[in-house]
Each structure stands twice: as C-alpha cells, then as structure tokens.
Amino acid sequence: MTSTDQPLKTSGAAPVVLGGEPRAPIAAEQWPRPAGREMELLGQVVRSGNWGFDGPLEAEFEAAFAAYQDARYGLCVANGTVALQLALEALDVGAGDEVIVPALTWQATAAAALDINAVPVLADVEPGTYCLDPVQVERLITPRTRAIIPVHLYSSLADMDRICQIGARHSIPVIEDCAHAHGSRWRDRGTGSWGALGCFSFQKFKTLTAGEGGFVSTSDPALRERVYSLRNCGRRRHGSADADWRPIQSGNYRMTEFQAAVLLAQFDAFDGQASQRDLNVGRIEAGLAELPGVAPMDHPAGRTRISPYEFVFKFVAGEWDGLSAGGFRRALEAELGVEVDRVNEPLNAAPLYLPQTKRRYRITSAYWDAINPKRFDVPVATQAYAEGVSLPHKILLDDDAVPVVLDAITRLHEHRQALASWENAA
C-alpha cells in the first residue's frame, strides 16, 4: 500500500451507534448519474421518429460494447433475465434439460432456465470468490446437462479457464452471466467473450445502465442470428447472410432506441469509471488484508481487471468478541452513511426463488420434484450469506472513500466489546 492507502488513525471516538459523532456520508453523489450526452441523444431520437428497435444508436452501441468486451457481435434485449433465457434458447436448451448454475446468485440466473422448462441444478461456490466451483460443476454433470452458467459475482470473477475446459471436455456450452461484470477482464479478455454467449444487465443499479435493458454477446455468427430472431418475434435479421436460417417461434424481447441513446451516453464515461473501480478495489483489498476481523476475497491471477457491481469482503466472526455479522453491518452503515448489505441468500433458501409457487411448472411430478431448490445442499453459499459484507459500487468512484472505509472498520474493531454489548441489548 502507498501512504495514502493506510487507514486513518482513529481518534478513539466512539462509533456512531455508540453515540459517536456521524461523519459526512461517503460517495454522496447519486447513482445512476448523467454522463453528459443523455439529453442530446434522447432529443435526437425524439426528432428522428425512430423510437422502436434496430435504430442507428442501438446498432452503434451494440458494436461498441461488444468490441469493448472482446466479442464479435452483440444484441440489445429487454433485460438481463431475458438475455439469459434467449441465450439458452439459442443453444436449443429446453424441456427437461439440466442447466448448472451457482447457488449463490440473483434468482434470475436459475429462473431463466425454469422459464424454458429446463431444470436448474444448483452448484456450490468457491469460498475464496463466491463464484461457481468448477469441482462441483464436474460432480453435477449428467447426460442431461445442456449448459453451464458461471456468474461473475460482486467483486469476483468465475474461473473461466477451468469452467471452459470442463465445458469443452464434456461438449457442454458455457453461458456467462455478466450482470455484475461490465468492463471486467479475465486474463485481459473481456467477460462475455469466454463462453458461447455472454449476458449483461443494464438495470438501474448496474455499473452501465439505462434504467432497464440487457445484452447478449457472442462471437458465433449462427448464434447471433438465432438470438436476433428470438428477440424479434422469430424474424430474420435484416441483412443476414445465414443460408441455414429458419423462422423460430418467439416473442418480443427488444430494447428501444431511447434506452440505446442513454447507454451510448453512459458508455462515454464508462471506461474511466471501470478503471477507477479497479484501482480502488485493489486499494481496499490491500487495506483489508492488514486489518483484524475482516478478509478480502481472493484475487486469482486470471482476474486482470475488475469493475464490480458491488464490493464484497468477509466478516471473520471469531475476531469480534461476540459481535455478529449483522451487528457489524449495521454499525458500519452508520459509520459510512451508505447502505451496507449482505450477499444474496443461496437459491435453496432464497425468498424470491420459489419455483413451486407457480402451477405453470407442474408439468410432470418428476419435473416438479426436480425443480425443488431445497433438494440441494450448498454449505459454502450458505456460509457466504452469513459472512459476506457488501458495499455499493459507487463508493469505488470516490477515491477519498477508501481510507474512510478502512478507518471505520478499524474503529469498529477497537470498540468490538462495547458493540457486542450494544447488539445484545438491542
């Protein structure tokens, strides 16, 4: 660490929850935030009359973002969940097929498989990254496995070397869920370019956003044509030279030109923001490694750039004299003035992943039993839910926030016994 990365010397003052004086919130600027050209480009769309899909701004953004992520092609779609569903359908995954997904992810990763009548198979994650464990993937492969979906989660990336090797060995395609990883790179190659297809979300909290929207990347021209057709009611892409193309039953999963305008404007600032996030992740991780009571996530050699959706680290329970992870999160939130959260609950216990609340999935009794998430045991994902601490990505765009975060954790640890008493009395 440089001298500017060292935690500030604590004054000995009490933490905020123990009556200490609150400091100014860090990273106070709102998110999303304008990048500059939003109003200009939105006005251009209004005047053009081209308000729907396949407009010139959408084509410009698709080409620019696909190239930025090192993919040959990209297609804008309605949202990130739809991106995953269309990627699966482009690979002809469907009824009764098994799709391996990590147990620690937002429910959409598994729901996309459910909604095409496939069976989501929940695999545990690696303790050092909270991403899909390749050992567990290998263990769960059966003759019915038709796709593997690693998720680049929070401030970690899935091990694409090992996962792609497993997929190639078993002839099973890999789909990357990159909803947390715009601008991130594995071995200096963009996320979304390693698997057969990559899927991104532009929902309002994401690091690149138009409020809603999604994106599918691929370097396979045939998959490009299939995704285009699937997103556009089964139609053929204008200008397609694919002699083997056939109409496909599908629906409307398109994006509008208004969203493309916002994304183009946001993209102007994105690379600089991604570099700043990567730099500040490294600063915070280095600082956390020197502090008691907390631990950074692993930084595998393959992770050459990280522009995370949220920054995550671990609470080490045995070093806090009885203060729980929940108490720590509440106390840290009071210190920083920004939301401090936990990671997602594993899908075998997640409150929003409830396949058996919908009659549409009761196709057969065997399928009904297969999609029951409670049949999976995922101890590492369960532990992650207990120990993970999540900070919003906007703090990574505030260089001054780094020492404040480290100082706040130091202060809390110094007062850990009093904090444990505070929590027990609550």
Per-residue pLDDT tens for 151-191? 999 999 999 999 999 999 999 999 999 999 999 999 999 99
Q: Which of 87-91, 168-172, 236-240, 357-361 has the lowest mean pLDDT?
A: 236-240
Tens of pLDDT, residues 382-415: 999 999 999 999 999 999 999 999 999 999 999 9
For residue 139, the SS3 value is helix
Provide the pLDDT for residue 241: 82
Task: Give mean pLDDT, residues 74-97.
Answer: 98
Sequence spans of domains, the chain: 38-264
3-state secondary structure of 269: helix
Could you list the beta-strand ranges (E) of 78-162: 98-102, 119-123, 145-148
pLDDT of res. 246: 84
Q: Residues 6 or more apart from 151 whose CB is under 8 A from it?
A: 101, 102, 104, 105, 109, 131, 132, 158, 177, 179, 180
CA distances to 50, 67, 147, 396 from 255, in Å: 12, 19, 26, 29
Please give the torsion angle defined by the CA atoms of residues 101, 146, 70 and 181, in that order, rounded to the nearest 10 degrees: -10
How many whole angstroms separate alpha carbon 34 and alpha carbon 41? 12
DSSP code of residue 417: H
Mean pLDDT value across residues 89-102:
98
pLDDT of residue 304: 98
Q: What percent of the chain has a predicted confidence (pLDDT) above 90?
A: 93
Strand ranges across the sheet with 214-218: 73-77, 214-218, 197-201, 175-177
Coil, helix or strand for 164? Answer: helix
First-to-last alpha carbon distance for the chain, in angstroms, is 38
β-pairing, 185-186 vs 303-305, is antiparallel
Lowest pLDDT segment from 89-93, 111-115, 239-243, 278-282? 239-243
Nearest to 183 by CA among 275, 105, 262, 313: 275
Tens digit of pLDDT for each residue in 120-144? 999 999 999 999 999 999 999 999 9
Query: Whose CA is closest to 152, among 119, 120, 174, 121?
Result: 174
Across 172-176, 237-241, 257-261, least confident range: 237-241
Residue 3, pLDDT > 50, answer no
Residue 7 confidence class, pLDDT cut points 50, 70, 90: very low
In this predicted structure, what is the pLDDT of residue 245? 79
Whole-number mean pLDDT of the chain? 95
Q: How far apart are CA 414 and CA 158, in angstroms?
A: 35
What is the pTM assigned to this prediction? 0.95
Task: Give 12's pLDDT tier (boundaries 50, 70, 90).
Answer: low
pLDDT for residue 139: 98
Tally the residues of the chain.
Answer: 426
pLDDT at 8: 45
> How many other CB atoms are there within 10 angstroms of residue 4's CB atom?
10
Asked if 206 is an active-site residue, the reply is: yes
Contact 203, 79 (CB under 8 A): yes
206, 314, 358, 394: the catalytic one is 206
Asked if pLDDT for residue 10 goes beyond 60, the answer is no
Percent of the chain with pLDDT over 70: 97
Among candidate residues 142, 203, 167, 201, the one with its CA nearest the CA of residue 91: 167
- The class that CATH gives domain 38-264 is alpha beta
Cα dihedral value 356, 360, 365, 367, nearest 10: -80
What pLDDT, on a 0 to 100 scale, did the predictor assign at position 238?
87
Q: Are strands 175-177 and 388-392 parallel, antiparallel or unpaired?
A: unpaired
Q: How confident is the model at residue 75 (pLDDT cuts 50, 70, 90)?
A: very high
